[in-house]
Amino acid sequence: MRKDVVYEANRSFNPVFKQKKSILKVMKTVFLITFSFCMIYPLYWLFISAFKSTDEFFQFPYALPSEWTFDNFVRAWNLADLGGAMINSTVVTVVGTIFTVFLGALTAYVLSRFSFKWKGFIMLFFLLGMLIPIHSTLVPLFSIMNEIGMLNTYWALILPYTAFELPIAIFLITAYMSSIPKEIEEAAVIDGAGYWGIFFRIMLPIAVPAMATVAILAFLRYWNEYIFALVFINDASLKTLPLSLSIFSDGYSTDYSLTMAAMAIAVIPTVIMYVFFQEQIMKGMVAGSVKG
């Protein structure tokens, strides 16, 4: 024991060893900086290009803009009706998120607090949904919605988004509620509160952390979702942001800095959200993907 301590001490005083260690440390730092740069670069390039004129973009595609101009943002906003798209995205995302959190919490309350015959089966049934590839339901959902006249409505997006997010929502909230001791509701039961009362006044407030995680995940997923919107929405006035971007880039395919500005507008809300809720987003997405 004593010997080890001496040995360690000698080593750290050894100048050659120290030098080797510091070279390694520099190499590590250089690697990490380079790697982070590669991760951020596409987004950085997107933003600087959005502030350039198209001519300048072609001349110096990688340089900082000589003159920072908001022209592209204004033009993109007006040409692609990004304002309308943003309203559509907001409606679909907010309503979908509320549905997901509420239905997820309600179902989780029942699954975590009651025991009944079919409970195991219902849990398994919801878990099954995580295995189903979303794009394999496109054709049947399109046909069904076509039959009942649901295409080209907000519901055509809100309902599928909610349905596909429900398994993860139920799973995360059930796990959280199960970890809370049952004594907490017992007082309320004695007071004669009904199940709705217990759910709204006790379970919902307690489960806020899990519900917040679900809400953030749902929000990001719905805001960015593309393929359902592409297939179920044709009406120009109902297009969500990702959809109007993909169409916009086709129409103005050579006006690159204009397209970049449109993309920047679409990306800003999620990036701001990321800055504020970073830890929660990381943890939530990992929990969501591990369970999914």
Partner 1 sequence: MQDILKAKHWIIISLLPALLLYTFIVIVPIFWSSYYGFFKWSGMNEPSFIGWANYLEVVNDPIFWRALKNNMIIVVASVFGQVPIALLLALLLRKTTLFQRFVRSAVFLPMVISTVVVGLIWGYIYNPEFGIVNALLEMLGLESWTRAWLSDPAVNMYAVSVPIIWNYIGPYLIIFIAAIQNIPTEIEDAAKMDGANGFRKLFYITLPMMWTTIKVAVVLCISGSLKAFDQVFVMTGGGPAQSTELLATYMYNNTFMTYRYGYGSAVSTMIIIVSLILILISQILMRRKEEKGMSI
Residues 187-246 binding partner 1 (CB under 8 A) are: 195, 199, 220, 223-224, 226-227, 231, 241-243, 245-246
Rg of the chain over Cα atoms, rounded to whole angstroms, equals: 26
* Cβ closest to partner 1, residue 35 vs residue 68: 35
CB atoms within 10 A of CB 192: 7
Beta carbon nearer to partner 1, 69 or 102: 102
In the bound complex, what is the minimum distance in angstroms from residue 26's beta carbon to partner 1?
13
CB atoms within 10 A of CB 197: 14
Q: For residue 242, which of 78, 86, 51, 46 has the smallest C-alpha distance?
A: 86
Q: How far is the CB of 74 from partner 1 (least distance, A)?
A: 20
CB of residue 14 vs partner 1: minimum separation in angstroms? 14
CA–CA gap between residue 228 and residue 129 (Å, rounded): 17
C-beta closer to partner 1: residue 150 or 180: 150
Q: Which residue number, 33 or 184, has a Cβ lying nearer to partner 1? A: 33
Q: Is 109 in the site for partner 1 (CB under 8 A)?
A: yes
DSSP single-letter state for residue 182 = T
Tell me if 167 sits within 8 A of 107, measured CB to CB. Answer: no
Cβ distance to partner 1 smaller for residue 67 or 118: 118
Distance (Å) of CA 41 to CA 100, 167, 206, 246, 276: 34, 35, 41, 21, 21
Q: How far is the CB of 146 from partner 1 (least distance, A)?
A: 7
Q: Is 4 in the site for partner 1 (CB under 8 A)?
A: yes
Contacts with partner 1, 263-282, as mask; x by CB under 8 A: x--xx--xx-xx---x--xx
User: Residue holding tokens 């509420």?
Assistant: 102
Q: What angle do CA 239, 97, 77 make, to 5 degrees?
A: 30
Q: Per rule CB under 8 A, is residue 78 in the interface with partner 1?
A: no
Decide if residue 143 touches partner 1 (CB under 8 A). yes
What is the x/- site pattern for partner 1, positions 111-130, by CB under 8 A? Answer: ---x-x-----x--xx-xx-
Q: Is residue 103 a contact point for partner 1 (CB under 8 A)?
A: yes
To partner 1, the closest distance from the beta carbon of 166 in angstroms equals: 5
Q: Which stretch binds partner 1 (CB under 8 A): 76-84, 90-98, 138-146, 175-183?
A: 138-146
What secondary structure does DSSP assign to 49-73, as a single string?
HHTS-HHHHHHSTTSPPSS---HHH
End-to-end CA distance of the chain: 48
Is residue 61 a contact point for partner 1 (CB under 8 A)? yes
State the maximum Cα–Cα separation within the chain, in Å, rounded to a whole number.
Answer: 82
Residue 73 CA to residue 257 CA, distance in Å, equals: 9
- Where b means 16+ CB within 10 Å and e means fewer, 124-161 reads eebeebeeeeeeeebeebeeebeeeeebeebebbbbbb
| Contact range with partner 1 by CB under 8 A, out of 29-37, 64-72, 78-86, 174-182 | 29-37
By the rule CB under 8 A, 166 interacts with partner 1:
yes
Minimum CB distance to partner 1 smaller for 88 or for 162: 162
**132 part of the interface to partner 1, by CB under 8 A:** yes
- Rounded to the nearest whole angstrom, what is the least distance from the CB of residue 37 to partner 1 in the complex? 8
